[in-house]
Structure 1
């Protein structure tokens, strides 16, 4: 696509009004835009000027490209009425902003002046999901947003009091199976259906009562029908009977409405009580499971302590046995060496040495051997 034409590329047949000249290029406007301070420029001229300085080229007031707005319709109409020589018609047709061009992405026909805006909303273009960072077609972005596993969502039972909020994948993998409101979802559905039915019935009864009240007000405000004196007095019995019937119907409807309201309040109270009972039951089950887990944990801890004590006792017995055997062996070797060197003191005195028996006490010394 060719770039937009510049104002200097056109030659006009008639003299151009000075109010239609751009303050930057001093040529008639091409795609005019206006600033908040009231000055009008060509779009290309304003973009080029603001790229070097963020101020209005006329009064130097602060100005940015985002603040530029399309010029007033009267200015655009006056510019479009300017005539150029017929020789420039072919060039104008190629560069006319109202000409149709085909989008290379979605193959739809778009006006030449709208092609840039179409690029930001083209259904065939690709956008990146802000949650999962996956490239998605713009036309399918809404559907993807409703099923994206990385998107943040609230629990479907948020209207019933569940405060959970997190990733969609965590809802299906973790929260859905543990949500206490999911177990009584059917109860909520039935409750909502009954509530809708009662609401519709209530609205119908209110509408009927309103119609009856309107009819009664009309009858009360209606002027009396003039009756000529020559005629018999009007028959008021039928009117009185009808009024009495209407009042009776109104009282009956009012009583039915009060009964419905009372039943609705009682139903709401029963539902609240049922919900509280179910919540208490679930809480008790959670406490029971927690107590069972603590008991199992305590048994495992006692079992580990018993195993540790048993292992420590076995090790101590093995060490004592080895030590006793070592001491017994060293005592035997020492006795043999002493017997070969010199006789004991009791042998020198002519008394026989008594054998030492483990576990018995010496009667002379009282020492347990």
Structure 2
């Protein structure tokens, strides 16, 4: 695979681009000046000039090149690329394996024993296709493997006119066109449930409202889907039961082998012969049974981990709930205290404002005589009345 010719899906991070070839790094290595290049690119660059291509730092041809960090390798392996054959999005690290084993459009050796040609993997089960045939449209001789391409692109008689709608179509696509042609006679969509009406495909919508099965058909579709779901569930349960049966047979065969070993040790040589076991109790392949036991152990472990995670999540939720309740109570107390303090501050401000107004209003008014001022002085020398703020402070102290 030519990794430099691959088409990447999405934008590739600039830090993953080789400064020399300007594509995603391939087999990246780091220089002593801490720059990253493709191994082939930096080797070829040093063969022409013994200096770093970026900062011109002196580098010898035999300078040590270290493999890039694992994080860089993982990022490069995770890049999505289009498969050169089927254009499916594949991680770059899995592309080689995909093309060698799974890609349906990848070229593989022809299955013919005496044929050295290659075919697509999806055609390999049809046997050797490298033999001459005649095109059914123009009588041109070509190989069977190329007949499809010839009829679609090269054949001079590839075009024809549809006998129903008059549209120009490819002869090799005639069957596909008949499935969509608007002038072909087609049955009602509820024909599988008993409707016998047929009409041109473009006029079937006129029959949809008058069909006697228009209310039964959707219900039948729902029942059909449910039946398919039940069938898949039954198939899954059957496979599970078969696995359990294999496990039971394996355990039974192991128990019988151990019993037979004990009998051979304790019973003398003239003991009666053993009765042959039934075919159903024969031990299965040890490799398969070992894999089966590993799978069952992993399933048990996964179930335990799921239960532990559920229990841990419940504990964490309860812990958070218990920790947030006191915080909520404290916030409520702080809000109430703030409201009380705000009320006291407003009351004190109003009281101070009234006291200032009363003081300034009394001091500015002229007295009628000296006696009045004496009386005022004597009144000022008397005990002052208890302020409301003192009463409120006592009330707060009691609370």
TM-score of the aligned structures, taking structure 1 as reference length: 0.28
Give 1 or 2 for the bigger CA radius of gyration: 1
TM-score of the aligned structures, taking structure 2 as reference length: 0.26
